[in-house]
Amino acid sequence: MTKVTVKLNSRTYPIVISHRMVEKELSDLLKKYSGKATRLFVVIDAKVYKLYAEVLDSTLSRCKQDVHIIRLKAGERAKGSRTLNRLYTFLLENEVSRSDFLLAIGGGVITDLSGYTSATILRGISWGAVPTTLLGVVDASIGGKTGINHAKGKNLIGAFWQPTFVYCNELFLSSLPPRQILAGLGEIVKYAGLCGGKMIEQLAQLQTSPTKEQLPLMRSLIVESVQYKADIVSKDEREGKLRMWLNLGHTFGHGIERSLSYGKLLHG
Ligand code: GLY
């Protein structure tokens, strides 16, 4: 298990990267960070729930809160005001209070959307992220940029709202289709371009469909990427200057995504 820290004074939080037992590790994190909550709200990608229902149900059953789960069909088109309103209704109908906790389990769309819901419901409740795509692990779940899309552009409505923890487990990445792995590698290529040196050399050794033998290499690239982003966010949370580096390539990328009305291309 590797722990990377985003250092933001009282809002400092851990990013745990692991390939061990989800049930024990995630339920321990939940107990630690949502201990005071009476209700635990889980927003999860329906596909992820279908694949990992047993392990997730067993994890959540270890937490003593009243657990409410909503399953969403993910995809860039879900990242808008309609789904946001669905989430507000789900929370309000279940009598969310300010001390309750939201857990987001899914890729970038689910974490951005859930984070923004947490930032805005009752003027803000705590949340945690369990990214289940490579892109979510190395980028979307870190740094508290939460938000939704608008017809005028991607991520134009949002808030900086940091999670209290991020938990990444390889188990969730093991079922990803090659296209999703490539999308995540898109962001890793970005970090390698920014870092240079060792990361470029490691990336050059990686095959586009990484094999089992390449797992250590992949793990190292993931940790390097997460550490790089965590360091930048720790120094410049609100994108005064330094954090802008992380937008490398995104002006074109967002333009292309928007011109295709979102959803045809993956973000990576
Ligand atoms: N994805 C870029 C950032 O979080 O700043």
CA 170/CA 3 separation, integer angstroms: 14
Q: How much of the chain is in helix, strand and coil states, percent to nearest 5?
A: 55, 20, 25
Residue 163: pLDDT over 80: yes
246 pocket-lining for ligand 1 (C-beta < 6 Å): yes
CA 35/CA 115 separation, integer angstroms: 19
For 41-45, 51-55, 65-69, 104-108, which range has the lowest pLDDT when averaged over its residues?
65-69
Residue 261: pLDDT over 80: no
Structural domain contains residue 215 = yes
Q: Which atom of ligand 1 is nearest to the CA of 246?
A: 2
Residue 235: pLDDT over 90: yes
Q: What is the pLDDT of residues 110-155, one digit of tens each?
A: 999 999 999 999 999 999 999 999 999 999 999 999 999 998 888 8
Structural domain contains residue 264 = no
Domain count, the chain: 1
CATH code for the domain in which residue 118 is found = 3.40.50.1970
Percent of the chain with pLDDT over 90: 82
pTM over 0.75: yes
Per the structure, the complete domain to which residue 153 belongs is given by: 2-259
Residue 68: pLDDT over 80: yes
Average pLDDT, the chain: 94
Q: Tell me, what's the pLDDT at 255? A: 86
Which residue's CA is the closest to the ligand 1 atom numbered 2?
A: 246
Structural domain contains residue 266 = no
- Of 8, 111, 145, the residue with max ligand 1 atoms within 8 A of its CB, to mutate for a pocket test, comes to 145
10: tokens are: 């009282």
Structural domain contains residue 21 = yes
Which residue's CA is the closest to the ligand 1 atom numbered 5?
A: 246
- The terminus-to-terminus CA distance of the chain in angstroms comes to 26
